[in-house]
Structure formats: C-alpha cells, structure tokens
C-alpha cells in the first residue's frame, strides 16, 4: 500500500517557495560579505606588509646601540638649533630608554622611536601620542601636549612575558621650565641618576 500522491510532489509552493527564496538570498549576501572581508584581509596584509605604518624610514637594528641617532647618549629630549624639539627613544624587552621623558606643554614635540628586538608600542596617558615600534623602522609623529602634568606611557603591543611591566613616565612641564633646562644640558630626561 502506497501513500496517497500529492498533486505536485517535489515542487515547493506557497510558503515553502518563499522561504527557499529568502534562504538563497541570504546565502548569496553572506558569501558576498565573506568574500569582501577576505579581499580586505588580503589587501591590507599584502599592502601593509610592503609599506609599514608611519614613514618608511629604516634603521639597522644590529648597530642601533653602537652608532647613529639611537645611541644611548643621544636618547631623550633634544632642543635643536632650529628650535624643533625632538624626543628619541628605544624600546626593548621590557623597558623604554629613557624610562622618563621630559616635554614642554603647548608646543609641538616630534617623537622618533624604534625597537631593538620585538614589536612594541606606546600610548602617552590620555593624549593622542600613540604609535607602534617595529624593529628596523623609525616611528615618527609630532604632537602637542595641551596640559602640564605627569603621564604614564605603557607598552601597548604584547611583546612577551614582561610586557605588563613595560612602561615609562612622561613629565609635561611649562615651556619656561623646559627651555631653562634644555639650554643647560644636551639631552633631557627625568631618569633619576
Ligand atoms: Cu610590550
């Protein structure tokens, strides 16, 4: 004995046809979303790998501590003859050199920084000073600190087991105090000596 045959068995109709069409529409949309996300990943992966953020300014990691602008006695805040204020620092597992930076409030300060080992990064308090430090590249940005005060500068790129203890201090002081100190010594920092 066989089941009674329906008039159009196998061919969806009515509500089922509507549901099938909706399912198919969503399947197409989801595939398109996945394809565009994949395309974005491939583009940024290939493009950014060939062109790192900040500027493509390279530095030799192997001679970083021996010669060039990132030797230890050239680190800290420098007041150039042209009046530009440049802070140079190096990150390494698990500290920044110098450990304490001095900058003036209210005038542009240029940072030049790099890493000697892993990828590090830093952000200074609640300011917009925020960059990654990639070995072999010099990260450069210019910012102005609006207010005086002490800021913390933690590493914000996971760099190993000591990452959580990797941070420095930044003292933002008045321009008068800064220029008085800058004219007295070559490279400024607030590291206790
Ligand atoms: Cu870190």
What are 151's strand-pairing partners?
Answer: 170
3-class DSSP state for residue 57? coil
Using the predicted structure, report yes or no on whether residue 63 has a pLDDT greater than 80: yes
Ligand 1 center–CA 11 separation, angstroms: 62
pLDDT confidence of residue 53: 55
pLDDT confidence of residue 10: 63
| Residue list, CB under 5 A from ion ligand 1 | 120, 155, 159, 163, 166
Span 75-108, pLDDT tens digits: 999 988 888 999 999 999 999 999 999 999 999 9
Of residues 57 and 9, the one with the higher pLDDT is 57
pLDDT confidence of residue 168: 95
What average pLDDT does range 16-21 have in this prediction? Answer: 93
Q: Which of 69, 54, 76 is nearest to 169 (CA)?
A: 76
pLDDT confidence of residue 180: 87
Token pair recorded at residue 170: 């930044």
Ligand 1 center–CA 169 separation, angstroms: 15
Ligand 1 center–CA 12 separation, angstroms: 59
Ligand 1 center–CA 153 separation, angstroms: 11
Using the predicted structure, report yes or no on whether residue 122 has a pLDDT greater than 80: yes
What average pLDDT does range 108-115 have in this prediction? Answer: 94
- Report the mean per-residue pLDDT for the chain: 87
Whether residue 60 has a cis bond before it, omega within 30° of 0? no
Give the model's confidence band at 1: pLDDT under 50 very low, under 70 low, under 90 confident, else very high: very low
Could you give the CA distance from residue 179 to residue 181 in angstroms, rounded to a whole number?
A: 5
Distances (CA, A) of 172 to 3, 111, 189: 87, 14, 11
Ligand 1 center–CA 92 separation, angstroms: 8
Using the predicted structure, report yes or no on whether residue 114 has a pLDDT greater than 90: yes
DSSP structural state of residue 193: -
Ligand 1 center–CA 99 separation, angstroms: 14
Span 144-173, pLDDT tens digits: 999 999 999 999 999 999 999 999 999 999
- Which residue's entry shows tokens 């805040």? 77
Using the predicted structure, report yes or no on whether residue 9 has a pLDDT greater than 60: no
Could you give the CA distance from residue 96 to residue 119 in angstroms, rounded to a whole number?
A: 13
CA atoms within 13 A on the CB side of 167: 12
Ligand 1 center–CA 150 separation, angstroms: 21
Ligand 1 center–CA 163 separation, angstroms: 4
Token pair recorded at residue 87: 């802070």
Could you give the CA distance from residue 77 to residue 88 in angstroms, rounded to a whole number?
A: 6
């Amino acid at each position: 004995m066989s089941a009674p045959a329906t008039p159009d068995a196998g061919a969806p109709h009515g509500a089922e046809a509507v549901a099938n069409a909706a399912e198919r529409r969503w399947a197409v949309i989801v595939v398109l979303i996945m394809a565009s996300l994949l395309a974005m990943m491939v583009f940024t992966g290939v493009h950014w790998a060939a062109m790192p953020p900040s500027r493509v300014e390279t530095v030799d990691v192997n001679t970083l501590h021996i010669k060039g602008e990132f030797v230890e006695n050239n680190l800290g805040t420098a007041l150039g003859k042209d009046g530009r204020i440049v802070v140079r620092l190096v990150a390494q597992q698990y500290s920044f050199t110098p450990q304490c930076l001095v900058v003036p409030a209210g005038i542009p300060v240029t940072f030049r920084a790099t890493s000697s080992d892993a990828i590090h990064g830093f952000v200074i308090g609640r300011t917009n000073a925020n960059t990654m430090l990639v070995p072999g590249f010099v990260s450069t940005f210019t910012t102005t600190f609006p207010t005086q005060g002490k800021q913390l500068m933690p590493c914000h790129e996971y760099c190993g087991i000591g990452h959580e203890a990797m941070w420095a201090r930044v003292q933002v002081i008045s321009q008068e105090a800064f220029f008085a100190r800058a004219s007295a010594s070559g490279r400024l920092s607030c590291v206790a000596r």
